[in-house]
Amino acid sequence: MISFENDYIQGAHPEILRRLAESNMEPLSGYGSDPYCERAREKIRRACGCENAEVYFLVGGTQTNAVVIDAMTKGYEGVVAADSGHIAIHEAGAVEFTGHKVLTVPGDNGKINGNELRQYLQGFYQDENHEHMVFPGMVYISHPTEFGTLYTKEELKQISEVCREYEIPLYLDGARLGYGLMSSGTDVSLSDVAEFCDAFYIGGTKVGALCGEAVVFPGKAPKHFLTSVKQHGALLAKGRLLGIQFDTLFTDELYFRISRHAIEMAEKLKEVLRDKRLPFAWESPTNQQFVIMDDRKMEQLREKVVFSFWEKADQNHTVVRFATSWGTKEEEIEELRNLL
Amino acid sequence: MISFENDYIQGAHPEILRRLAESNMEPLSGYGSDPYCERAREKIRRACGCENAEVYFLVGGTQTNAVVIDAMTKGYEGVVAADSGHIAIHEAGAVEFTGHKVLTVPGDNGKINGNELRQYLQGFYQDENHEHMVFPGMVYISHPTEFGTLYTKEELKQISEVCREYEIPLYLDGARLGYGLMSSGTDVSLSDVAEFCDAFYIGGTKVGALCGEAVVFPGKAPKHFLTSVKQHGALLAKGRLLGIQFDTLFTDELYFRISRHAIEMAEKLKEVLRDKRLPFAWESPTNQQFVIMDDRKMEQLREKVVFSFWEKADQNHTVVRFATSWGTKEEEIEELRNLL
Amino acid sequence: MISFENDYIQGAHPEILRRLAESNMEPLSGYGSDPYCERAREKIRRACGCENAEVYFLVGGTQTNAVVIDAMTKGYEGVVAADSGHIAIHEAGAVEFTGHKVLTVPGDNGKINGNELRQYLQGFYQDENHEHMVFPGMVYISHPTEFGTLYTKEELKQISEVCREYEIPLYLDGARLGYGLMSSGTDVSLSDVAEFCDAFYIGGTKVGALCGEAVVFPGKAPKHFLTSVKQHGALLAKGRLLGIQFDTLFTDELYFRISRHAIEMAEKLKEVLRDKRLPFAWESPTNQQFVIMDDRKMEQLREKVVFSFWEKADQNHTVVRFATSWGTKEEEIEELRNLL
Amino acid sequence: MISFENDYIQGAHPEILRRLAESNMEPLSGYGSDPYCERAREKIRRACGCENAEVYFLVGGTQTNAVVIDAMTKGYEGVVAADSGHIAIHEAGAVEFTGHKVLTVPGDNGKINGNELRQYLQGFYQDENHEHMVFPGMVYISHPTEFGTLYTKEELKQISEVCREYEIPLYLDGARLGYGLMSSGTDVSLSDVAEFCDAFYIGGTKVGALCGEAVVFPGKAPKHFLTSVKQHGALLAKGRLLGIQFDTLFTDELYFRISRHAIEMAEKLKEVLRDKRLPFAWESPTNQQFVIMDDRKMEQLREKVVFSFWEKADQNHTVVRFATSWGTKEEEIEELRNLL
């Protein structure tokens, strides 16, 4: 059985396991105060081209989104997101649980658009009743999006300008950031992200780590952010587990190398899908590919390959997702070719 | 430098690392649905003598407390705890963050007493204004407590009886449960805990795991508990990381063996402290030992040994804590003897 | 200056003021335990044809919605509402503040449709990821809606059947319930509302009271509802203020009589608007009328008449709202005719 | 039956009812934007000697406490209060409901002490674990306290100085502020309150109004406070109801005159209680008097007089409370003398 189910089906990149084992018995202080965390922070700052960035390590993506959004918005503010945004749909209401509404704007294959964002914000402040409404206090985007799509540098810049005009922070969910950065489908670099966003996270869970997301505040972190993290139940006692993983991922560009591998595998996967004449539901330049399958064919394939249901296309067809990752092997793609 | 700073200064028991590495490239589904999680659940059920228990894996202790308490109490209810309880002091208000008040009763070296609990509950319902007050909707205890102390089976039974009389669940925080179970200072067994409590967790973070706590509901879990876990940002994508760890800990009694080791080391540590005439702040039968040190001596010792500040005893003395763990070596205790 | 700004521009029906004055110096216990509250409850039960209903008095509409929704949903549940629903837009996120997401479905001039609701719920449970999503735990409708539109008995019954099929409560926001009940645009009676809904409120603020909404649970109220009300800061000390008002409103059918007056005034208003060839933005059978005005005309009229901006229709036209109420006088409508 | 049950047993001061009736049919805009609210704000500013104060009107005390505390603290902060504080005990956890912990310090008959407060705050910041604890983000006091006791100007100043030293706001719950200001038991004036506090409220509910509390921010109100009020379900649609009441109370010093009356009645009441040799549980210089009664005598008296149970004193004695108010008549006190 081969699996393209998602990008977190395997453990960690072996180098991470090796370094966890190597450092295992060293006594270290907890909560992110150990030297591995410090080294990882330093390397991340350098990779972001942002010497003064504050960096924190959290365990998972939903958690990170909820903590960052709660810490950066005022009580009466909500967060603007695409209607398909992960926080709007698939996080079990973790943001609302903290008291903040997710304010949705229509997305275009997962992306929001600077002009539409400006119109939304203008419309809000022009509405005579806006004091009875939830203030837009932050903008949330993801890169890649839920649809595997990417912003261009120009698009990201436009959104950022709107946010700065309205003095609200821009936050980028980078659960799959590596795959976005290594795709040829965008000119956005990590330092662009750091330049245009007020907060973002570099996803580890989906890019080679056992768990862990590195939150980066290019400017200043919210005051007493560590306490907010603790209050949300998100502070890991053995911070070393996160520090060592990110230290490893940002040593010798491992994060970028394994991301590039996933993109290369995705390119090969696209070739296979194209050759087999499976229509793409939409164009994705990253590690997730979405195709429309005949339901009978889908059921047959499921006996030998794991992949994900996305949504029904019509009565007899389904949009399905195949994902590559740092751990995908070329042989697996060849095997898929044979099975299709 | 030797360290008795706490019981989470090291990584994981080597057997855990070995099994993580061994299973690393197997593709597995996420969120706790993999076979390792299932096997770990099965072994935990057996260890608890509780075939129908529902078992969930979370990442950390504060998180576990907040999720379980929130899921098991109604909106207008709070949770009763000793005034020294971890949830009352050292979790940055994570319980209040979910909207529930921590209702404190005076603790006796961290323990609450069945009779006093009954008086508290009686008093509450006799108070003519109690509809204007926070209803006691759950009782929280920890075993071992913050002070390293333990309940006897009889004490635990009494608390449980009061809870059942008032129809509120009893929840036991077992961050250090292994150390409690292996101490000769109590007759409480794991199946006693399962019998007397409505929910409890078996701590992994402080007992040999990289991270992870196993929440056990001997009866039924709260409805849609997985969604509550997700909503609190506490659902780990790679559930395997927790499943494999608990599967390992509950194979060949590893959890109990390493806990017993920590207790043996604590016994030797107590001998050293006694021999060195350091007065104990209170008697602890578990892996944390609390002694009163002269401040100058404390400062000298700090140059060579890591241990924790607990509280000031008087102007020139401090209560300090030395903790052993699964990873403590006998040589380290001998070295401490030489340094004292 | 005449005003059609909204239906809460005036104080209370004079009979209410008279009875407040009459009972003013009687010493009464607080928090809704006085005999006026009890009498009002009894009369409301009778008006609803629902002898065992539990009735509570709260102060305002947003407050009532937030308290009832929070008390009737579990932590992991949200509330389904039309995308134009008051709770979705104009309550400053009061529902999200309590941790619950407002799950929107497209509304048709403010109404939701039983079939679309069933599709939404079916779709939710068919979605393989639904455990990672907010469970629909309640359905919220308003009658009249934000658009002044009304459900028919058949439509209400259908929604109710879907809710019962999925075992989730149906809650009706009756901020303007009187105006809905007295309109000829629907066959829904108060006892129908009590039959089809699990909770609803009879609006006082907009129908003749100084403040106050009567929450009716035709079956059982949520356990310890009074404490939930207090916890939300919604328990009025001098419950008499609400009891006396609702006792008055439900004596000699005052509530219905003054509602009917508002509807009669709305009919006359419609005639005037029709005669003046102002196109209706949509058909409303209740006390709020929405017409499209040329912006210059609108600005002129504003010098002599108060009415509300609703939304821009196009570059030179605006949808505006004229509202009648229990206090509207026929002369005012004639004056409007002269001014148009 | 005469009643000393509490200070909100009657409706409103007749002058308030008169003015409500007088203005009843005037059409006015809602939510506090009407001229009565504006006039009331202006008069309150003048009474406080604080021209730039921002003034908001809310409906009740628990609501006001929850909204103000939530709006003035950051997410990771709690509020320091005496252990007997109303927010700590008798508000059904309304503060915790907003996510903030009530941090208690021992009170002395309801009062906190500047020195002990400083020690608490010093202790907090000296605790090496304080980042894992709830930050003290505000100080809550009440004047009069739950025990009817009062701060002196010097005591209030000391608390204020500590707050300013630690840069946290001081908030005064003035549910019974009028009775405190008119008592001879303190030298604190309304302008002192405005000078020493960052926020406070002037209680209406217990001092002559049907409902309503006037929140005063001597400096600046929290940003978008109106939206926070709405979000908490605390924004009254017919703001006129509050505006007219406070306008009346602050016209010709009505608020102070009726408060003085209650204090005079309390003085007479004390004489009666003293004459009847009922021991005072503690000395209260305000409108609430607490005496210890033999339980049999208490039961007898209850047949003719309403008063409140406070707490058991010993097996056969109870502390009971007699409250006077703006509405208490001298005859009632004479009648009590005859009945005792």
Please judge whether C93 and A102 are an interchain contact, meaning their C-beta atoms are less than 8 angstroms apart: no
User: What are phi and psi for residue B143, nearest 5 degrees?
Assistant: -150, 105
Query: C235: which residues sit within 8 A by CB, 6+ positions away?
Result: B132, C31, C32, C226, C229, D60, D62
What is the structure's pLDDT at B20? Answer: 98
Give the pLDDT band (50/70/90) at residue B222: very high
Residue A330 has pLDDT above 90, yes or no: yes
Of B2, B26, B63, the CB nearest to A233: B63
Tell me how close the Cα of C165 comes to any Cα of chain D, in angstroms: 31
Please judge whether B8 and A238 are an interchain contact, meaning their C-beta atoms are less than 8 angstroms apart: yes
pLDDT tens digit sequence for D277-322: 999 999 999 999 999 999 999 999 999 999 999 998 999 999 999 9
What is the structure's pLDDT at B1? Answer: 87
The one-character DSSP state at C217 is E
Q: What share of chain D is helix, strand, coil (3-state, %, to 5)?
A: 40, 20, 40
Chain D positions in Cβ-Cβ contact with residue C236 (cut-off 8 Å): 59-60, 211
Please choose, from the candidates B269, B141, B82, the residue with its C-alpha nearest in 3D space to the C-alpha of residue B280: B269
Q: Is the dihedral of CA A156, A159, A162, A167 positive or negative?
A: negative
What is the structure's pLDDT at D1? Answer: 87
- C-alpha–C-alpha distance, residues C112 and B333, integer Å: 71
Chain A positions in Cβ-Cβ contact with residue B62 (cut-off 8 Å): 230, 233, 235
Please choose, from the candidates B149, B148, B150, B173, the residue with its C-alpha nearest in 3D space to the C-alpha of residue B58: B173
Residue A1 has pLDDT above 90, yes or no: no
pTM over 0.95: yes
User: What are phi and psi for residue B223, nearest 5 degrees?
Assistant: -55, 140
Chain A positions in Cβ-Cβ contact with residue C76 (cut-off 8 Å): 92-93
What is the structure's pLDDT at C1? Answer: 87
Of A91, A100, A133, the CB nearest to C89: A133
Q: What is the mean pLDDT of residues A279-296?
A: 97
Q: Which residue of C has its CA nearest to A89?
A: C133
Please judge whether B76 and D99 are an interchain contact, meaning their C-beta atoms are less than 8 angstroms apart: no
Q: Which residue of A has its CA nearest to D78?
A: A231
Please judge whether B228 and C75 are an interchain contact, meaning their C-beta atoms are less than 8 angstroms apart: yes
Cα radius of gyration rounded to whole Å, chain B: 20
Please choose, from the candidates B98, B170, C69, B168, the residue with its C-alpha nearest in 3D space to the C-alpha of residue D93: B98
What is the structure's pLDDT at C126? Answer: 92
pLDDT tens digit sequence for B125-144: 999 899 999 999 999 999 99
Chain D positions in Cβ-Cβ contact with residue C67 (cut-off 8 Å): 233
pLDDT tens digit sequence for A11-31: 999 999 999 999 999 999 999
Q: Which residues pair with C2 in a beta bridge?
A: C305
Give the pLDDT band (50/70/90) at residue A6: very high
* C-alpha distance from residue A331 to each of A3, A256, A288, B114 (Å): 12, 22, 18, 64
Name the E strands within B132-234: 135-142, 170-174, 199-203, 213-217
Chain A positions in Cβ-Cβ contact with residue D76 (cut-off 8 Å): 224, 227-228, 231
Q: Which residues pair with D105 in a beta bridge?
A: D82
Q: What is the mean pLDDT of residues C190-196?
A: 98
Neighbors of chain A with 3 or more C-beta pairs under 8 Å: B, C, D
- C-alpha–C-alpha distance, residues D279 and D120, integer Å: 34
Chain B positions in Cβ-Cβ contact with residue A9 (cut-off 8 Å): 27-30
- C-alpha–C-alpha distance, residues B111 and D154, integer Å: 41
* C-alpha distance from residue B127 to each of A23, A154, B124, B134, D310 (Å): 57, 65, 5, 12, 9
Q: Which residues pair with D318 in a beta bridge?
A: D293, D312
Q: Which two tokens stand for residue B260?
A: 């017993």
pLDDT tens digit sequence for B152-164: 999 999 999 999 9
Tell me how close the Cα of B119 comes to any Cα of chain A, in angstroms: 31
Chain D positions in Cβ-Cβ contact with residue A235 (cut-off 8 Å): 132
Task: Calculate the average pLDDT of chain C.
Answer: 97
The one-character DSSP state at D260 is H
Please judge whether B224 and C76 are an interchain contact, meaning their C-beta atoms are less than 8 angstroms apart: yes
Q: Which two tokens stand for residue A48?
A: 């972001």
Give the pLDDT band (50/70/90) at residue B192: very high
Of A75, A230, A235, the CB nearest to D71: A75
Q: Which two tokens stand for residue D8?
A: 């909100």
The one-character DSSP state at D222 is P
- C139, C117 contact by CB (below 8 A): yes
Tens-binned pLDDT, residue by residue, of chain D (340 aa): 899 999 999 999 999 999 999 999 999 999 999 999 999 999 999 999 999 999 999 999 999 999 999 999 999 999 999 999 999 999 999 999 999 999 999 999 999 999 999 999 999 999 989 999 999 999 999 999 999 999 999 999 999 999 999 999 999 999 999 999 999 999 999 999 999 999 999 999 999 999 999 999 999 999 999 999 999 999 999 999 999 999 999 999 999 999 999 999 999 999 999 999 999 999 999 999 999 999 999 999 999 999 999 998 999 999 999 999 999 999 999 999 999 9
Q: Which two tokens stand for residue C73?
A: 């949903």
* C-alpha distance from residue B272 to each of B190, B269, B288, B334 (Å): 30, 5, 14, 8
- B177, B207 contact by CB (below 8 A): yes
- C303-313 b/e (C-beta count within 10 Å ≥ 16 → b): eebbbbebeeb
- D227, A132 contact by CB (below 8 A): yes
- Best of B31, B70, B76 to substitute, by most chain C Cβ atoms within 10 angstroms, is B76
Question: Side chain identity at C99, as an amino acid letter?
Answer: G
What is the structure's pLDDT at D92? Answer: 97
Question: DSSP 3-state assignment of D262?
Answer: helix
pLDDT tens digit sequence for A50-81: 999 999 999 999 999 999 999 999 999 999 99
